Structures are given as structure tokens and as C-alpha cells.
Chain A
Amino acid sequence: MEKEKFDYYIKTEKNSWEVVIGLEVHAQVISDSKLFSGSSTKFGAKPNTQVSLVDSAFPGMLPVINQYCIEQAIKTGLGLNAKINLFSIFDRKNYFYADLPAGYQISQYKNPIVGEGAVTLDMPYGSKKVGIERLHLEQDAGKSIHDLSPDNTFVDLNRSGVALMEIVSKPDLRSPSEVNLYVKKLRTIMRYLGTCDGNMQEGSLRADVNVSVRKKGEKKFGTRCEIKNVNSIKFMEMAIDLEAKRQVELLEAGKTIEQETRLFDTKKNETRSMRSKEEAHDYRYFPDPDLLPLEIKQSFVDGLKKKLPELPDKKKDRFIKKFKLTPYEANVLVSEIDISKYFEEVIKNADIKLAKNWIIVELFAVLNEKNLDIKNSPVSSKNLASLINAISSGEISGKIAKKVFEIMVETGGEPSKIIKEKGLKQQSDPKELEKIVIKVLGDNSDKVSEYKSGKEKLYGFFVGEIMKASSGKANPKLVNDILKEKLKK
């Protein structure tokens, strides 16, 4: 089976160990205001300027839930093919920390807004389903800044109360690369839905990673450790690898794994126990008496469902069927909703085969190089379509098209104008071309004799000379026709 090539095991002299991973992804909800207050959620504001009396837990302050955040959670749930719970409860998770002003975080414990669902990963060997356990809404905490003073910690509550979705996977992941695909897939889905921007640098997406190991073939799960708050996909992969190896080492030395929370130290490249902190934790969840149960009508969920955009999996299937794309091409073109939109705009008026190649090869190279996303592409979908049409109609050759494209990238200009201004239009007048062919053949009469006596390789030489003489503009198809005709004689 091909799948085995992609299986990930930690092999030692004695054993082969399977790694079992579950993720708790914290995704910041896209909303203007916070989950329970009217302050802004905008990233990068000056410290404590986006804080209300509610966010800073002044005496007597009460939470009022944000309608849009509820919608965002439901939409995300629908995007994860999950069950939407029409009845859910907000609980308080109690613990003390400098950036948790109320001494509790409002979260959902026993009755989350979204229940079980699944996400499909495209593996090289086919597809793999990863189960979703639940999704719940909760508040983010503020930020403690430890490095501004040697004796003190500074607290900024701008983030305090921003809505997060915690998406908990089942322990279905088996390798760092699956985790990579899973997180990217979640991010793609949420970006399609407009529910989370997935910006990891700004902390909009981070994860707690649960890792355990077991001998290959073993059915029972091993004891897991939770690595807290990992904020990049690369770090997740590294942390899993390190943690799995640590556990294997312990187990092979005859020791046991202690269930605990660990921290990934990116500087020292190790995971480290946070036990000191853990010991005092007993979150004492109970329903928040300041809030009532959240009841949602099925008709409301159905209404949101109708308005959902086409999601990546469906879009991919459609692209493959309708546009005859390979799964790879389709995957690339649906990876971001804006890319798929761009692609579909281009092919409204242009050849599909040329379009997908130009986007995947030429355009992506430029975007990568310039570190731009497709929304800010210097080449608009309309201009790319015109360029492709110029190729299809024979106005310019593929080679010239690349020249035109370069200019489009630099100036953002329209291809027709560029072709005209730079005089790049293909030479397609048979009479003019015939003149050039006759001249080239006349200048090289010795080679013509050689060709006629059987040295057919020289054909390419003639074509090259003709193109040179036309400064690359000669229509290759016409050149072919005329040249063949002339050489017959």
C-alpha cells in the first residue's frame, strides 16, 4: 500500500512507536467588538485603549453576548460538518492570573455550541478524516509583559474578552505533517467562512497539542502530555517530534509518562514541564450565573447554512470535474478563497488550460517573490485573461507573452496596450512572412541543399533564423506552414 510510505513511526532498536496527536486550536473570531463587551478587537492598538469596564472586571460589571460571535461559531461548526447544539451554556473557568481580570474566563464546558464533526485532509495517498470533538466559544485573556522591567510584570488588557473558538480534535492525527495539513485545512475553511483570519503572527490562531505514543499495533492510547500555546505550524511540528521522542525514550528506559502540561521552549528546543503551575489548577467550572442558557432556533442555523460560501472540499471536486484539473492543481487553486475567485474570473473569458498554468506557475512565482497575496496582485484577473486570449488568438506567442507579463507585473498595465506600445504583436501576414522565409533560405542555400539531401535536423535551424529575422514576432504556426512548403520545392 502506498499509504505506508507516509506513515510516521519513531523507530528504535527495539520498537516502532506510533505517535497519537490531538489538537485544541484557539481561533480568534472575526468580529468588530468583543464577545461580551463593546470594545474593539482590532490588533495592534496602544496598550489598554481597547478595554471597557467589563473587560477589566470592575465591580458590578456584567457580560452581554455578541450576536455575531454566535453566528461565527455556528458557521464554523457548519464548515466542519459538525452538529450545532441548539442549547448551550456558558461556564466560568476559575483561576488567578494577572491578565485574567475577573479571576475567571467565560467559556463553555459541558454544553458547547458545536458538537462532533470532521475535517478531510488530502494526503498524497488519498484522503483522511480527522474527527472534531467539539467547538466552543470563550474569552481570550489579556497580555502579561515580563520583559519591560526586572521586578514587575506589565499588564495590557486589550485582548481581554476577545472571542475565541476552541476547536478540539479527536486524537486522530498521527504525524507532524498531518498536523500541518490539519491546521492549514482548518485555517482554509475558516478563511473561506470569514470566521477567523488565521494570522498566526498576530496570535489569531494557536494550539495546545496533546501528544502520546504507543507501540505499533497497540490499541490502547498511551498517557498524553499537553504542550500549551504553540503559535506556529512549524513549532507544532517541532514540538510534537521532540515530545514524542522524549516519551519514547522514557518508556524504553522502563519509566512511565506523567500526564501533565508542558511548554515548548523554542530557544532551547525542548518541551518542559509546567507542573508548578498545574498543581494549583482546579478550574471549578460552573454555569455563569450572569448569563442565561443560549438557545438557538434550527431555522436560524438553516438560514446561516444557506448563506455559506462553497467550501474548499466541494469547490475542489467541482474544479476537478468541471475544469478537468488534476487534484494537485485543484488543491492549489482552492487553498485560498481569493485564489479560487481569481481563477474563476480569469477562466470566464479565457482558456482554462492556459489559465491554470499561468496562475500556478507564473503568477504564483511573482507573488511569492514579492510576498504579496493574490488580492494585491499587480496583474488583475481581467488583464491575465486578456493576455491569455492574446496567446490563444495568435496575436502573440507564448514567448512574447512572458515578456508582456513581466511588463504587466512592473506596471500593472493592460496587455493590449503593452503589445501595441512595444510593437510586440505577432507577425501573421503570410506575404510578409513568405518574404522573410525566402530571404533566409536564399542566404543559406548551402544548408537548403544539405537539408534536401536528407539532413532534416536543419529544419530547426531555419526556424530559428526566421524568428531571429522577425525579432521573435513571427507567428510560429505560419512560419511552419510556409517553411515546409518552400523546402518541398
Chain B
Amino acid sequence: MSDFNKSSLSEIVNLIKSKKVSSSEITSHYIKNIEKGKKLNSFITTCFEEALKKAKEFDNKKNFNGLLPGVPLAVKDLFCTKNVKTTAGSKILENFIPTYESSVTHNLWSEGAILLGKLNCDEFAMGSSNETSYFGNVINPIGKDLVPGGSSGGSASALAANLTPATIGTDTGGSIRQPASFTGTVGLKPTYGLCSRWGIVAFASSLDQAGPMTKNVEDCALLLEAMSGYDGKDSTSINKKKEKYSKNLNQKVKGLKIGIPKEYRIENMPKEIDSLWKKGIDILKKSGAKIIDISLPHTKYALSTYYIVAPAEASSNLARYDGVKYGYRSNKGKNLIEMYENTRGEGFGDEVKRRVLIGTYVLSSGYYDAYYLKAQKVRRLIKNDFDKCFKSVDAILTPSTPSSAFKIGEKTNDPISMYLNDIFTVPVNLAGIPAISIPAGQDNKGHPLGLQLISKALDEQKILNIAFAMEKSIAFKQSLNRWWE
């Protein structure tokens, strides 16, 4: 058997299509990898038997019409999967088995993909290091003591370690791009409304978006194409024709105007990040793009805005976890109210509690105007900044994160320093626009760093193309010695 660990998603699709390899072979390969990768703790649930069965079914009745024929994939455990446990990384959903399939995963299976298992994540996607999961923290394959980022930490870790050929995550404030950056992989947060939210455990409804996490840009285009699409079951879904991102992928950058926002040059930013950014700018210049200095003046308010809006929505979204219809129920408490309090007190972890409490507080009577309403107004200002800039530029280039992967436990006692990790990713969610993070280099410790490309709404193709061109020039290499096996 050839070494599929070097193969990208697109290559695997081609191998299967050209009948050089069967779905069963590929599936068995990844199952072996997953079994050997337990140390990473990137999986919460595996479904090997079912996956092998499906692979065999595919091999017996080959159908190459889909974009992902017979390709096994693991997905973040925030997507509800029919008859497969879905936990959102929380004790409160420890035993929840949905009777339904999320629209996004349904799209993947319709394109021929096969579910390998469910990937660990921060509890209810609240976290930037995958340390808030009830199922334990996830290890970054880059280094034993490093976090993989979050909240799609299990997804990033499994992808970087080749426990899945590609994966999907969700991104509310950076949950795809930051772990992608931390693990040397590609992650894209689509335009709000491009991928259906139906069947995804909600964190903050006005910010949540599912997106692809892949080894390269080509895979990213392919997976985005497979997962996206209008869904009448989601009122915020954008009704438009499906784009052919893979077919239209090219490296034409010449003549494009790339904005460099001065506000992203933050105080105390590590030199390595700054030089990485410069490297990106140089590459684009060489490719014929025009570099333009721009200003997004309200950037510095984005994190504060986010940490009001997201917890507020979360406090309401998480009210349904009350021990009545599904999930964990505490057996303590004499009456309904006590049952609620104990169920939620025992069922939620500390970070979730913090955010639910903050969210409840900022919505409560007497504080709503000062916090929530204010934040919604600032959110408009932040969006206006972007709208204005995209009148004169095609895309914006920024670093993905202010640092490389940090150590496990390093920031758990200081919520604010943890939150600061999302400083470059959060504005994009607030504005509802797409952004992609691609690996662009390593710091002096050898830890990967990412660059982020941002475009106006529904311009995914443009940032994919720019990223595709940059990827070629950067020629990022990451060789892991598979220490976890």
C-alpha cells in the first residue's frame, strides 16, 4: 500500500476515481491511523464498523458522480449526525444520539463521503485551545505539550496528524482559522449564510459558520464546494447557485488590490509574525498584486464586541440544555428549578458557565443598552469599515493569529489572554465575511504560523485563488515524525 499520509484529499479522490485504490483500502488506512493516534485525543467517537460497511458498499457499487466518492472523513463533534453520538464536547450532551443529520454533513455524504468519527472540540465551541472539552484536551501533533488551538482543535489535530484526509469545523470567532494556523493546515470560514447552520449545535447564531479544514488550498476549494449550499431550513441561508470552487481555482493574482490594515499591527506583536506578514506582502507583490495600505479603524473594538454578542446569544442558545428532552440530568433537586440548576451546574464546564453568565448579565434588564445594544452598534461600525475598504481592495491580508501554538495550561487561568488569541479572526465573524488561513512559515521554535486572507461577502473564490497562488510561492513544508504512534 502506498503512503496515503502524503496524499491530499484531491489526490485521494483521484486515486479512487481512477480505481487505483478502493474506498475500503483508504478507510482502513485512516482507521489504522486513528487507532495509532489515540494519544492526541482528537476523537470523541469513532464509527469504524459503519465506515467500513459504507466503504464496502461503495466499492461494490461504484458511483463516481459525487465530489467525494468513497472518501472517509471525520467531522467536528458539533455537527449532529444521525444515530451517531453528538456531544459538542460537553458532559451535558454526553449521551445524546441525534435522530437527524446536519445539512452540511448530509451534503458531504450526498457527495459520497463516509463518516469516520466525531472530533473533539472545546465545549460548545467555546475556547481557543481545546482545553474546555469535557472529553479532555487535544494535543497538537506539532508538539506534545502544545494546544492545537480551538475550538476546532480535534479537527485540526486529526488533520495535521493524518487521522482524516480533510475535515470540517465551525468558526464563530476564529475556531477554524486559529487551529489551522496552529497546526500548519488550511482553514476557511465562509461568508455567513453560505453553509447551512441546520443541525449544528449552536454557539452564537449570528456568528457561527461551518467551513472546511484541509491540507491545501485545492482541497479547501473542493470541500467547500461539497459542504456549502442553500438550505430552506435555515432562515439565514443565502439563496444562490452553488459555486464550482475547484473548477474555477486558479493562481491569477496579477492586478488584484490587496489591502494591508494598519490596525492589525498590534502592540507587542512578535517580530516573527510581523516578518511573516511582510513575507506574504512580498509574495503578493511579486505575483503582480497591488498592495494598498488601508484602515479598519474599529478593529480594536472587535474583541470586546465579540465577547458581548457571542456570550449573549450563547446564554440563550444553551437554555435548551435543561435535562428535560435530551442529555444529562442531575438526580439532585426536589423540584423542577433545582433540577435545572443542578443539571446545568454539573453539566456545563467552567468556560461555558462563564460565558452563559456574562451573556445573561449583558442581556439583563438595566444592562442591555449599555452592553448588548452598544455592541450591536459597534458591530455595524466594524462591518462598515470592511464594506468601505472593499470598495477599493479585492482582499485583505493579515496574520491569522498573534502567536503560534501555546503550551497546554498556559492561558487557562486568564480568560482575557486566551480571548486575545482571536484578535485577528474575530472581526471577520462580526462582519459576516469570508476568510482563509494558510500556513505561511514557522517561528524559531518550528511552530507553524498562518496568514489570513479576507474578502467581501461571497467572494470565496477570490481568496481561494490568492491563497492558491501564495501557497505555491510559500511552499510550506511540515514533516512530523509521527511521535504519537
0 or 1 for each of A210-234: is its CB under 8 Å from B? (1 = yes): 0000000000000000000000000
0 or 1 for each of B185-217: is its CB under 8 Å from A? (1 = yes): 000000000000111111011100000000000
Q: Are A60 and B199 in contact (CB under 8 A)?
A: yes
Q: Are B206 and A289 in contact (CB under 8 A)?
A: yes
A291 within 8 A of B: yes
For A60, give its contact among B80, B236, B324, B337 (CB under 8 Å): B80
B372 within 8 A of A: yes
Q: Is chain A's interface secondary structure helix, strand, loop, or mixed overall?
A: loop
0 or 1 for each of B116-150: is its CB under 8 Å from A? (1 = yes): 00000000000000000000000000000000000
A92 to B278, CA, bound (A): 46
Q: Are A289 and B204 in contact (CB under 8 A)?
A: yes
A361 within 8 A of B: no
Q: Are A58 and B100 in contact (CB under 8 A)?
A: yes
Q: Are B232 and A64 in contact (CB under 8 A)?
A: yes
Contact status of A103 and B319, CB under 8 A, knowing A60-B197, A289-B205: yes
- Who on chain B is nearest to A36 by CB? B235
Binds A, one of B40-48, B288-296, B363-371: B363-371
Q: Is chain B's interface secondary structure helix, strand, loop, or mixed overall?
A: loop
- B458 CB, nearest partner CB in chain A, Å: 17
Tell me which residues across on chain B come within 8 A of A102, comparing CB atoms. 319-320
0 or 1 for each of A285-298: is its CB under 8 Å from B? (1 = yes): 11001111000000
A96 to B315, CA, bound (A): 12
Q: Are B320 and A64 in contact (CB under 8 A)?
A: no
For A53, give its contact among B96, B100, B197, B315 (CB under 8 Å): B100
Q: Are B320 and A62 in contact (CB under 8 A)?
A: no
Tell me which residues across on chain A come within 8 A of B88, comparing CB atoms. 59
For B319, give its contact among A94, A155, A285, A286 (CB under 8 Å): A94
Taking each of A62, A282, A285, A292, which has the highest tally of chain B beta carbons within 10 Å of its own beta carbon?
Answer: A62
Q: Are B340 and A96 in contact (CB under 8 A)?
A: yes
- Who on chain B is nearest to A95 by CB? B319
For A61, give its contact among B86, B198, B204, B236 (CB under 8 Å): B198
A59 to B38, CA, bound (A): 28
A447 to B178, CA, bound (A): 119
0 or 1 for each of A270-290: is its CB under 8 Å from B? (1 = yes): 000000000000101110011
A286 to B359, CA, bound (A): 11
A63 to B232, CA, bound (A): 10
Q: Are A101 and B200 in contact (CB under 8 A)?
A: no
Q: Are A60 and B336 in contact (CB under 8 A)?
A: no
A319 within 8 A of B: no
A59 to B326, CA, bound (A): 9
B346 within 8 A of A: no
Tell me which residues across on chain A come within 8 A of B261, comparing CB atoms. none
Q: Are A62 and B234 in contact (CB under 8 A)?
A: yes
- Who on chain A is nearest to B100 by CB? A53
Contact status of A62 and B233, CB under 8 A, knowing A92-B316, A153-B336, A284-B364: yes
- Who on chain B is nearest to A57 by CB? B320
Q: Are A286 and B372 in contact (CB under 8 A)?
A: yes
Contact status of A57 and B364, CB under 8 A, knowing A102-B319, A104-B319: no
- A398 CB, nearest partner CB in chain B, Å: 64
Q: Are A59 and B96 in contact (CB under 8 A)?
A: yes
A475 within 8 A of B: no
Q: Are B98 and A59 in contact (CB under 8 A)?
A: yes
A311 within 8 A of B: no
For B201, give its contact among A60, A64, A96, A103 (CB under 8 Å): A60
A155 to B325, CA, bound (A): 10
For A286, give its contact among B86, B337, B340, B368 (CB under 8 Å): B368
Tell me which residues across on chain A come within 8 A of B340, comparing CB atoms. 96
For A101, give its contact among B100, B313, B320, B337 (CB under 8 Å): B320
Contact status of A155 and B324, CB under 8 A, knowing A59-B88, A64-B233, A103-B316: yes
0 or 1 for each of B98-109: is its CB under 8 Å from A? (1 = yes): 111010000000
Tell me which residues across on chain B come within 8 A of A285, comparing CB atoms. 363, 368
A286 to B319, CA, bound (A): 14
Enumerate A47-76 residues with CB–CB distance to B below 8 Å. Answer: 53, 56-65
For A59, give its contact among B202, B236, B337 (CB under 8 Å): B202
Tell me which residues across on chain B come within 8 A of A60, comparing CB atoms. 80, 102, 197-202
Chain A, interface residues (CB within 8 Å), range: 20 to 34
Contact status of A63 and B325, CB under 8 A, knowing A58-B98, A96-B340: no
Taking each of B102, B202, B235, B337, which has the highest tally of chain A beta carbons within 10 Å of its own beta carbon?
Answer: B235
- A155 CB, nearest partner CB in chain B, Å: 7
- B200 CB, nearest partner CB in chain A, Å: 5
B218 within 8 A of A: no
B471 within 8 A of A: no
A56 to B365, CA, bound (A): 27
Contact status of A286 and B316, CB under 8 A, knowing A101-B325, A291-B235, A292-B236: yes
Tell me which residues across on chain B come within 8 A of A53, comparing CB atoms. 99-100
- Who on chain B is nearest to A56 by CB? B325
A47 to B93, CA, bound (A): 25
Tell me which residues across on chain A come within 8 A of B199, comparing CB atoms. 60-61
Q: Are B363 and A286 in contact (CB under 8 A)?
A: yes
A98 within 8 A of B: yes
Tell me which residues across on chain B come within 8 A of A98, comparing CB atoms. 324, 336
Tell me which residues across on chain B come within 8 A of A292, comparing CB atoms. 235-236
Q: Are A284 and B320 in contact (CB under 8 A)?
A: no
Tell me which residues across on chain B come within 8 A of A58, comparing CB atoms. 80, 98, 100, 325-326
Q: Are A284 and B360 in contact (CB under 8 A)?
A: yes
Q: Are B326 and A62 in contact (CB under 8 A)?
A: no
- Who on chain B is nearest to A59 by CB? B201
A60 to B170, CA, bound (A): 13
Q: Are A65 and B316 in contact (CB under 8 A)?
A: no
Q: Are A284 and B368 in contact (CB under 8 A)?
A: yes
B312 within 8 A of A: yes
0 or 1 for each of A20-63: is its CB under 8 Å from B? (1 = yes): 00000000000000000000000000000000010011111111
A379 to B443, CA, bound (A): 93
0 or 1 for each of B452-474: is its CB under 8 Å from A? (1 = yes): 00000000000000000000000
A62 to B365, CA, bound (A): 26
Contact status of A59 and B86, CB under 8 A, knowing A101-B320, A286-B368, A289-B206: yes
Q: Are B336 and A290 in contact (CB under 8 A)?
A: no
Taking each of A92, A103, A282, which has the highest tally of chain B beta carbons within 10 Å of its own beta carbon?
Answer: A103
Q: Are B312 and A57 in contact (CB under 8 A)?
A: no
A356 to B82, CA, bound (A): 64
Taking each of A58, A59, A153, A286, which has the highest tally of chain B beta carbons within 10 Å of its own beta carbon?
Answer: A59
- A333 CB, nearest partner CB in chain B, Å: 45
B111 within 8 A of A: no
A282 to B99, CA, bound (A): 34
Tell me which residues across on chain B come within 8 A of A103, comparing CB atoms. 316, 318-320, 322
A/B interface sample: 28 pairs, CB < 8 A: A53-B99, A56-B325, A57-B325, A58-B100, A59-B96, A59-B201, A60-B80, A60-B102, A61-B199, A62-B233, A62-B235, A65-B235, A96-B340, A101-B320, A103-B318, A103-B319, A104-B319, A153-B336, A284-B315, A284-B316, A285-B363, A285-B368, A286-B313, A289-B313, A290-B202, A290-B205, A291-B235, A292-B235
Residues on A close to B: CB < 8 A?
Answer: 53, 56-65, 92, 94, 96, 98, 101-104, 153, 155, 282, 284-286, 289-292
Instruction: Give 4 new A-B contacts, CB below 8 A, not counting A284-B368, A286-B313.
Output: A59-B320, A62-B234, A104-B319, A286-B372
Shortest beta-carbon contacts, A-B, top 5: A103-B319, A289-B205, A284-B363, A289-B206, A60-B199
